[in-house]
Amino acid sequence: MIVRRSKSVEETEAFGEALAKSIGSGWVIGLSGDLGAGKTAFVRGLARGLGFKGRVHSPTFALLNQYEGGVMPIYHLDLYRLRGPEDVMGAGLEEYLNCPDGVSVVEWVERWCGDAGATEGVGAGTFRRVYLSSLDEHTREIAYDNAGA
């Protein structure tokens, strides 16, 4: 596991942007962290790193935002309002956890695969987990897990 510290939103975005250079179609990036930990900032950087130039915002109420125009489509899911895998399937989101043509980035991924990170059925390609923790008002700890490698 790789652990980094971020002292600003910009640094969190930069980590996402750097990770984008090593991912490919079919990947699923699962994000975990408390409210305000920087999950959406991370996704903004990842999208920028994949060449998307538009606005990236949390799909909390829509559940899914799709970003096109970069290197590959980005499917940005936010499972915060869902209780578990049954709700994910009931909302018709499971297809976005297996998208061979793009990358899926899932905020609150534990609502789909649990805290232990079971990845059965998640991702047509490679699954990566990113944990974001607030250490203080400005500092975040970002832990990148190679589960599913």
Kindly tell me if the per-residue pLDDT of 127 is higher than 90. Answer: no
- Residue 141 pLDDT level (bands cut at 50, 70, 90): very high
Answer yes or no: is pLDDT of 117 > 90: no
Q: How many domains are contained in the chain? A: 1
Least trusted range by pLDDT, from 4-13, 86-95, 111-120: 111-120
Q: What is the pLDDT of residue 53?
A: 95
- Token duo for residue 38: 């920087």
C-alpha dihedral over 49, 52, 55, 57, to 10 degrees?
-60
Statement: residue 29 has pLDDT above 80 = yes
What confidence tens digit (pLDDT) does each residue in 51-110 have? 999 999 988 888 999 999 999 999 999 999 998 889 988 998 988 887 889 999 999 999
> Is residue 149's pLDDT more than 50?
no
pTM for the whole thing? 0.88
Average pLDDT, the chain: 88
pLDDT value at 125 more than 90: no
Give the range of the structural domain holding residue 29, as residue numbers without chain letter: 2-145
Please say if the pLDDT value at position 148 is more than 50.
no
CATH of the domain at 30: 3.40.50.300
What's the confidence (pLDDT) of residue 124? 47
- pLDDT reading at 129 higher than 70: yes
**DSSP state string for 43-59:** HHHHHHHTT--S-----
Q: Predicted confidence band at 40 (pLDDT cuts at 50, 70, 90)? A: very high
Residues 121 and 137: beta-carbon distance below 8 Å: no
Rg of the chain on CA atoms, in Å: 14
